Amino acid sequence: MRIIIVGAGMVGTQLAKYLVQEKHDVSLIESNEERARHASNRLDCLVLHDGGNSLSALEEAGLDKADALVCVTDSDEVNMIICGLAASRQSALLKIARVRNDDYVWLNRPGTGRVLGIDHFVHPDVEAARTVLDAVEHGAMGEILSFANTSYELGSIDIAEKSAFDGLALRDFRSLVKAESLVTLLERGGECILPSGSTTLTRKDRMYILAKEEDMSGIFALAGRLEKPLRKIGIVGGGRIGSLIAEGLLKTSGEDKKRPPVFSFFKSFIPKSIRRVIIIEKDYELCKDLAARFPEALILNEDISDESFVGEERIDGLDLIITATANQELNMIAALYLKSRGVHRAIAVVTGQGYTAIARKLGVDVVLPRQSVVVDSILSHLMGERVKGVHRIGGGGTDIIEIEISHNTAVLGTPLTQFRLPRGGLVMLVQRGEESFIPTGDYVFTEKDRIILIAKTGSEADLERLFGASP
C-alpha cells in the first residue's frame, strides 16, 4: 500500500516505522522542522517538512496514487480538514483521523454517514480506557487480549520463581495444565521466542498463553499469580482517561452503547460488581466536575505524591490502583509506591513501549502504552479487507492478526499440516460460525473461517501472498 501520514509525533513515527518494516510505501509530512529532521534520520521513507493542510505537500507526498491517508497531528480540526481536502482530490482514498473531542467520534458512529469523507476516527482516550477496563475485568493479573464471539483469551504473565511453571519443559505442559490451552510466545531477556516442545520455562519469562476465559485464572495461579476480587478501586487522575475508566466501572454496558469498539475482535467491557471507586485528583475545579458526574464515587482533592495523604485516607487498603495522569513517570512511581504500601494490584498508563518493559520489571502488574494502543487501532483499519484486526505484542516485534478466509483465498482447502507460516508463525485459534477452537493438524482452511495467528513483525507481505486471492 501507499500510505501518507501527516504528523511525526510519537504515534506518527511509530506507525511509519511499522509500515516501513512491512514493506509499504510511506510518506510522512510534518510541519515542525525539528520533528521532521528527527523522523528523516530514523525512518527509511519520504519525510516532508511542510503543513499537511497544504495541497501541494499532499501532492508531493503522492496523494494521486495513495491508498490511505492517516492524520495524527496535535489538532483534531487540522486532522479533519486535511482528510476533507484530500477527499476533494481523491475520493477513493481511505482516510483516518485521530481526534480527542468526543463529539467528532460519535458523529462517525455506524449509520450516521461519513463526516468530511473520513472513514474512521480514532480516539486515543477511548482506546486507552477500554483497554484498562478489559484488564480490570480480568483481575489485573496481567495483560489480557479477548476475542469477540469466542470464549478464548490470550493472557500474558511473568512466571514467578518456584512456581509450578518454573523449570517446566513445554513437552510436559499438558501433564500440568489439563484445560485446552496453547503457549504461543515467550519473552526472555528482551527477546521474543516462538516456543517448541523442547523449550523450558524459567522464572521471569513472560508467557503468552491462549486458553478459555474460565481456565485463565487457574493457569495464572500455576504461574504464581492468584486472583483476588477487586472491590475497592482507586483511579489517580481525573482527566479524560481517568473519567472514562470511572464511567466504565460505574455504569452498565447497556448505558454506553454509543461508544465504538476498540478492535473488531475485542469483547465489549461488561463491568462486574464494584464495591467502591475512589478518584484522586489534585485539581480542585476538576474534582467538582467529577463529584457532579460520579456521585457514587469518592472524589479526593489530593496530590498522590503526598505520603501523609496516602496514610490518612487509607489508600493502601485498595485492591487496585489505576494511575492515569498525564505524567507517565508519576504514574509508574505512584503505582509502585502504592503497591509497596499494600495495594494488591496496579495498572499504569504510560506513553510508549519504552517504559513498558521497565514498569513491568519493577513490579507493575499491567502497563498500558497509550501510543501503541492507538497505532494498533489505526493498523486494524489499514490492513485491508481480509485483515480484521492487528495487535502488537512482545515490545512490538510480534503481531496478533485476525484474518477472514474468503472464497478465493489461496490457502482454501489446504490442511494445516501442509501450511507453513513465515518466520515461525502459528495459527492459534479458529472461529467457524458459533464455534471456536485451537486447530490441530487435520484442520482445513474453509471459506468464512476467521483465523487468529501470531507472526513476527515484517511478515505481512508473506501473509498477503498466502491469504490473498488465488491467481
| Total of domains in the chain | 4
Distance (Å, whole) CA 23 – CA 7: 20
Measured in residues, the chain has a length of 471
Chain segment 199-214, per-residue pLDDT in tens: 999 988 889 999 998 8
Structure confidence at residue 466 (pLDDT): 74
> Per-residue pLDDT for 316 more than 80?
no
Chain segment 226-278, per-residue pLDDT in tens: 777 888 999 999 999 999 999 888 873 334 444 443 333 334 344 445 568 99
Structure confidence at residue 270 (pLDDT): 42
- Residues with Cβ within 8 Å of 253's Cβ and at least 6 positions away in sequence, in order, are 268, 269, 270, 271
Instruction: Looking at the structure, tell me whether residues 366 and 232 fall in a common domain.
Output: yes
Within-domain flag for 394? no
Instruction: Looking at the structure, tell me whether residues 259 and 217 fall in a common domain.
Output: no
Instruction: Looking at the structure, tell me whether residues 242 and 321 fall in a common domain.
Output: yes
Within-domain flag for 292? yes
Residue 40 — pLDDT band, cuts 50, 70, 90? very high
Instruction: Looking at the structure, tell me whether residues 132 and 109 fall in a common domain.
Output: no
Chain segment 451-471, per-residue pLDDT in tens: 888 888 777 667 767 776 544
Distance (Å, whole) CA 211 – CA 217: 10
Instruction: Looking at the structure, tell me whether residues 48 and 92 fall in a common domain.
Output: yes
Strand order in the sheet with 435-437: 387-393, 398-404, 450-456, 426-432, 435-437
Distance (Å, whole) CA 85 – CA 454: 37
Distance (Å, whole) CA 68 – CA 118: 11
Structure confidence at residue 268 (pLDDT): 39
Q: 465 versus 154: which is more confidently predicted?
A: 154
Q: Which of 99-103, 337-341, 377-381, 460-464 has the highest mean pLDDT?
A: 337-341
> 350: which strand partners?
369
Treating both helix axes as pointing N-terminal to C-terminal, what angle do 124-137 and 240-250 enclose, rounded to 10 degrees? 40
* CATH number, position 195: 3.30.70.1450
Instruction: Looking at the structure, tell me whether residues 29 and 116 fall in a common domain.
Output: yes
Within-domain flag for 18? yes
> Per-residue pLDDT for 402 more than 80?
yes
* CATH number, position 108: 3.40.50.720
Instruction: Looking at the structure, tell me whether residues 103 and 235 fall in a common domain.
Output: no
Q: Quote the domain boundaries for residue 204.
A: 142-222
Domain boundary residue among 222, 256, 280?
A: 222
Domain boundary residue among 349, 373, 397?
A: 373
Within-domain flag for 58? yes
pTM equals: 0.78
Decide: helix, strand or coil at residue 191: strand
Within-domain flag for 387? no
Locate 130 and state its grid cell.
477500554
Q: Are 100 and 125 in contact (CB under 8 A)?
A: yes
Structure confidence at residue 136 (pLDDT): 87
Instruction: Looking at the structure, tell me whether residues 328 and 183 fall in a common domain.
Output: no
Instruction: Looking at the structure, tell me whether residues 27 and 83 fall in a common domain.
Output: yes
For the chain, give the mean pLDDT: 83
Domain boundary residue among 197, 222, 247?
A: 222
- Phi, psi for 175 (deg, rounded to 5): -70, -20
Distance (Å, whole) CA 329 – CA 333: 6
- Residues with Cβ within 8 Å of 297's Cβ and at least 6 positions away in sequence, in order, are 246, 250, 277, 278, 279, 290
Residue-wise DSSP of 347-380? EEEESSHHHHHHHHHHT-SEEEEHHHHHHHHHHH
Within-domain flag for 385? no
Within-domain flag for 392? no
DSSP 207: E
Instruction: Looking at the structure, tell me whether residues 252 and 298 fall in a common domain.
Output: yes
Q: How many helices (H) and strands (E) does the chain have?
A: 15, 22
Chain segment 355-389, per-residue pLDDT in tens: 787 887 788 888 888 888 888 888 878 866 566 67
Within-domain flag for 379? no
Instruction: Looking at the structure, tell me whether residues 409 and 434 fall in a common domain.
Output: yes
The CA–CA distances, whole Å, from 191 to 32, 64, 92, 353, 440 equal 35, 41, 41, 15, 27
Instruction: Looking at the structure, tell me whether residues 234 and 362 fall in a common domain.
Output: yes
Strand order in the sheet with 206-212: 143-146, 152-158, 206-212, 181-188, 191-193
- Mean pLDDT to the nearest integer, 187-201: 86
